[in-house]
Amino acid sequence: MDQKKAYRKIAITLFLVLGLLVVVFAAMLLFNVTDYGITIASFGATVMMILSKKKVENRKIIGAYIAASVIGFIMARVPGSVLFNVAVAGVASVIAMTVLEMQHAPAIGIAIAMVLNNFSFWTDVTIIFSILLIIGMAMILKSFIRNPERILNFVKIETEKINWDF
């Protein structure tokens, strides 16, 4: 590998990492960490799994978060004991993920957090959108780290047009 290609890969990897850092930091600023602690821990574990495992099925991760979010949203609106609703949301999430063959353990945290916090509909939607955005960025970063040429072709960056001499 020549020096220009190495510089290019390093520069783009750093750009993707910086982008992920900015989005995560913005999410932390938007959401009170103490209120959203379970949610942040949940998607933090997911990002770590995406970046560290050789093979992670994106369909399972996104499906698990959507299923757990729906269950958490419903259980947050059911009157009764919060502790009972948290237990039902956790168990129902596990069952739904198993039946749908989308097992992803950290996603259970989102169902529990939604019941405990009982936020408004739009707050829940914003949380889910932020989580899916960050997970998507982590998936793109992992894809780039594994095969940088694929991402460069996707965004149509031509190496000849970029001056990589530092």
Q: What is the pLDDT of residues 62-118, one digit of tens each?
A: 889 899 999 999 999 999 888 899 999 999 999 999 999 998 888 888 888 888 888
Q: Which one, of 62, 66, 64, 79, lies nearest residue 115 by Cα?
A: 79
Instruction: Write down the domain spans for the chain.
Output: 3-158
Residues 46-59 have pLDDT tens digits of 877 777 766 778 78
52-61, long-range: CB < 8 A, 24+ apart: 56/142, 58/139, 59/102, 60/101, 60/102, 60/103, 60/104, 61/102, 61/104, 61/107, 61/135
For residue 124, pLDDT beyond 70: yes
Confidence of residue 166 (pLDDT cuts 50, 70, 90): very low
Q: Determine the Cα angle at 163 with ends 158 and 166, to 5°.
A: 140
pTM for this predicted structure: 0.68
